[in-house]
């Protein structure tokens, strides 16, 4: 029995070290990818729900792996968060967003605002405000063209300096968007205090729109609450004409989702900018 116990211990130990090894190698791979600049941004349009007019685009990161090709964020953002590398990666995302706006401007395209995702860890540990200020200045970007998407968990994090920091960021002139709204626990008063510009309602609620009266009522309540606070509402993950129709009856401001467009590589964006109305 003793021998078996020992064997088991060895088994666990080797599994553990295998796990650690894998983690370390994944971290190392990610670190290298950041150094080698293997990340690119895709852009997904957000359009006016009533007219289909292009309003803004969300920058979504992808890893172009030299052997594996395009890797979606679900496969590396969690590792980036666990290891803290999200801070550096998030800085690259901000830098690339500003650089891209400058490229499109140089091509004579009409300016379209972009929003970037900022993870809670990046917000708490990084210098988001400084980085935004630095790259907007470097590329001469009008701050009104930049938005940051933060989740509710970020808003309600303990540190009393969250509202202070957000305020300082808002003072730069950039927009504040709440991502995945409805999945967390932010309150009405918090949204008002933080001077939020846009609520992006999580796609789980868009899905429920056409599934039940309750789903519709929930969305309706968010829209009227947001209207009262002078906050715009974007429905995420709009995939069908029926969802769009329902959102139009609720007077939801904007929609984003596969029904309008999937996220696109930068070189496919100018055509959309010229098109202007996407449905
Ligand atoms: P998110 O911020 O909620 O972004 C929306 C995600 O939904 C994107 O996935 C987008 O491709 C997907 N999507 C858009 N429309 C539809 C639709 O109609 N149906 C469905 N089923 N999905 C749709 P993606 O690009 O794979 O990104 C996943 C998540 O990774 C993002 O969720 C965001 O949390 C994170 N992420 C992406 N880029 C960054 C980044 O630069 N920094 C950070 N911190 N996180 C990022
Ligand atoms: Ca987002
Ligand atoms: Ca979202
Ligand atoms: Ca407002």
- Note the Cα 114 to chain centre separation in Å: 11
Give me the interface pTM, i.e. the ipTM: 0.98
Could you give the CA distance from residue 225 to residue 233 in angstroms, rounded to a whole number? 10
User: Tens digit of pLDDT for each residue in 80-128?
Assistant: 999 999 999 999 999 999 999 999 999 999 999 999 999 999 999 889 9
pLDDT in tens, 155-169: 776 666 888 899 999
Ion ligand 4 — residues with CB < 5 Å: 230
CA of 7 to the centre of ligand 3 (A): 47
| Ligand 3 is an ion; residues with CB less than 5 A from it | 179-180, 236
Residue owning tokens 């109305």: 277
Taking the C-alpha atoms of residue 194 and residue 202, their distance in angstroms, rounded to an integer, is 20
Ligand 1, CB within 6 Å, residue ranges: 44, 60-61, 72-74, 77, 86, 90, 93, 117, 119, 179-180, 203, 237-239, 257-258, 263
Residue 181 bridge partners (DSSP): 201
263 vs 256: CA distance, rounded Å: 10
| Ligand 3 mean position, distance from CA 109 (Å) | 27
For residues 118 and 148, the answer to whether their CB atoms sit within 8 Å is yes
Alpha-carbon span 125 to 161, nearest angstrom: 12
**pLDDT for position 278:** 97
């Amino acid at each position: 029995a003793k021998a078996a116990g020992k064997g088991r211990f060895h088994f666990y130990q080797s599994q553990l070290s295998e796990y650690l090894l894998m983690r370390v190698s994944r971290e190392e791979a990610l670190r290298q990818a950041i150094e080698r600049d293997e990340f690119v941004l895709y852009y997904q349009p957000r359009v006016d729900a009533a007219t289909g007019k292009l309003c803004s685009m969300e920058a979504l990161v992808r890893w172009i792996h030299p052997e594996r090709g395009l890797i979606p964020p679900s496969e590396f953002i969690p590792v980036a968060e666990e290891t803290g590398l999200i801070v550096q990666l998030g800085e690259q995302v901000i830098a690339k967003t500003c650089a891209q706006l400058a490229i499109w401007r140089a091509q004579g395209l009409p300016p379209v605002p972009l929003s970037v995702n900022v993870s809670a860890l990046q917000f708490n540990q990084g210098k988001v405000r400084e980085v935004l200020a630095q790259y907007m200045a470097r590329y001469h970007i009008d701050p009104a063209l930049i938005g940051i998407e933060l989740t509710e968990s970020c808003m309600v994090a303990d540190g009393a300096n969250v509202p202070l920091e957000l305020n300082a960021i808002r003072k730069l002139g950039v927009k504040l968007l709440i991502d995945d709204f409805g999945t967390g626990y932010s309150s009405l008063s918090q949204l008002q205090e933080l001077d939020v510009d846009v609520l992006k309602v999580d796609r789980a609620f868009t899905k429920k729109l056409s599934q039940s009266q309750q789903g519709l009522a929930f969305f309706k309540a968010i829209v009227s609450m947001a209207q009262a606070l002078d906050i715009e509402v974007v429905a995420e993950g709009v995939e069908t004409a029926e969802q769009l129709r329902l959102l139009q009856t609720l007077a939801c401001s904007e929609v984003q989702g596969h029904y309008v467009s999937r996220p696109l590589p930068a070189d496919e964006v100018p055509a959309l900018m010229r098109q202007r109305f996407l449905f």
